[in-house]
Amino acid sequence: MSRLTRRRILGAALLAPVAAGVALRPAQNGGGHEAYFLQLQQALRDAGLFRPTLVIDRAKLDQNIARLREHLPRNKHYRIVAKSLPSLELIRHVRRATGSDRLMSFHQPFLNLIAREVPDAQVLLGKPMPVGAARRFFEHFDARSGFDTARQIEWLVDTPERLAQYRELARARAGEGTAPMRINLELDVGLHRGGLRSAQAVAEAIRSLAAEPSMRFSGFMGYEAHASKMPELLGGPRKALDAAMAFYRQCIDAARSVLGAAYDERSLTLNMGGSSTYELYDESAPCNELAMGSGLVKPTDFDKPTLADHVPACFIATPVLKALDRSDISGLESLTGAMRAWDRNTERAFYLYGGYWHADLVSPPGLQHNLIWGHSTNQELVNGSSKVALEVDDFVFLRPHQSESVFLQFGDIALYDGGRITAAWPVFTPGA
């Protein structure tokens, strides 16, 4: 090998890591808020909301409601998933726009709230409550609202054991002269989160309900959230949904054969669906109603192909408390220069009012969490390059991952409508 060739090889060997380093170096990101967020920021300032705030954009919410109305098959009712829209005012808005009086509730204190504040609602429990929670509901229930618990609640039951527990409660209540408790049966249509798994188990449960004067069979609930996540390799969403519906039909057949002439589909609640699947249904589906909630506000967990025509309608807005032109990590101050040379997106440091929510940073673009620093629910550090146009008292916007628990962390929802904050919608309080 000549001396020249050897030198070339040596040069290439030395340069390779440098070239690889340059290729791997994070690109410099960043910018300012686009017009939408600038306007929202101004609206929050005008409303004096200089704190972490959950914002719902009314026009976007209404756009999603319009999509729902278009997609809902004509022979299916719509059921509002209350946990995903956890504010009475928000639920009332959706009720007005959809005409639905059907709610799905998942939490005993919220059920008491609904019975008190929405006395014309028809409620289906979305998960089986411990019988003690059902008992507590009745202890706290105030009949003066006019809500009729026997006619307006369907309790969800998933096993023969729970059915026996509810039978005891129903008998005790019947002894006090109340009408039969309505029992809806949870079916395992493929999600495998519990529920009856065979048509035989369903037939047995219905037989035992038919023999019990203190209870009445009111229908089925079969949730199929697994379908939208099913990879094409395993047949994709369509196959999973078809299998779910096939089992649902078997269960309807079982009910028909047990009840005979007493089987009346119009009096039953045959529930399926959720935000990520409801657009896949048509009139031929065996259910008579579809539930959905989250898709009306579309947090990031619902950025799914099956919900592509819905738009994000909820944001977290929070002020920047401190904007620094360097990002020092305690104990590693001597590395600040090297870190910013490697990743220019650490050039600036912003400390937020709060910040460690189940949420993604969306505006301004180019912000990132600092993995060495970690997270803070009090003052979260986010970094950005010198291209990020953000100063103290500006707002940072995030999108929640989901609505049900994140919405409860900010106090009243700020309703954004026509460029202004026009209302404060109180959220559910989980306690009591």
Ligand X SMILES: Cc1ncc(COP(=O)(O)O)c(C=O)c1O
Q: Which residues bind ligand X (CB under 6 A)?
A: 81, 84, 104, 126, 221, 223, 274-275, 291-295
- Specify whether the CB–CB gap between 296 and 327 falls below 8 A: no
Taking the least distance from each CB to ligand X, the nearer of 150 and 225 is: 225
Taking the least distance from each CB to ligand X, the nearer of 149 and 184 is: 184
Interatomic CA distance for residues 261 and 207, integer angstroms: 14
Taking the least distance from each CB to ligand X, the nearer of 40 and 314 is: 314
Q: Phi-psi bin for 393: left (phi > 0), alpha (psi -120 to 50), beta?
A: left
Q: Cα dihedral angle (293, 298, 84, 70), rounded to 10 degrees?
A: -10
Taking the least distance from each CB to ligand X, the nearer of 350 and 407 is: 407
Q: Which residue bears the tokens 């460029």?
A: 419
34 burial class (0-12, 13-18, 19+ CB within 10 angstroms)? exposed
Least gap, CB of 222 to ligand X (angstroms): 9
Q: Cα dihedral angle (77, 83, 88, 93), rounded to 10 degrees?
A: -40
**CA 262 → CA 266, 278, 282, distances in Å?**
12, 30, 27
Taking the least distance from each CB to ligand X, the nearer of 88 and 367 is: 88
Least gap, CB of 370 to ligand X (angstroms): 32
Taking the least distance from each CB to ligand X, the nearer of 69 and 420 is: 69
Least gap, CB of 273 to ligand X (angstroms): 6
Least gap, CB of 244 to ligand X (angstroms): 12
Taking the least distance from each CB to ligand X, the nearer of 76 and 348 is: 76
Name the residue among 326, 394, 324, 312 with its Cα closest to residue 360: 312
378 burial class (0-12, 13-18, 19+ CB within 10 angstroms)? exposed
| Tokens of residue 342, six digits | 């490697």
Least gap, CB of 221 to ligand X (angstroms): 6
Least gap, CB of 430 to ligand X (angstroms): 16
Least gap, CB of 193 to ligand X (angstroms): 8
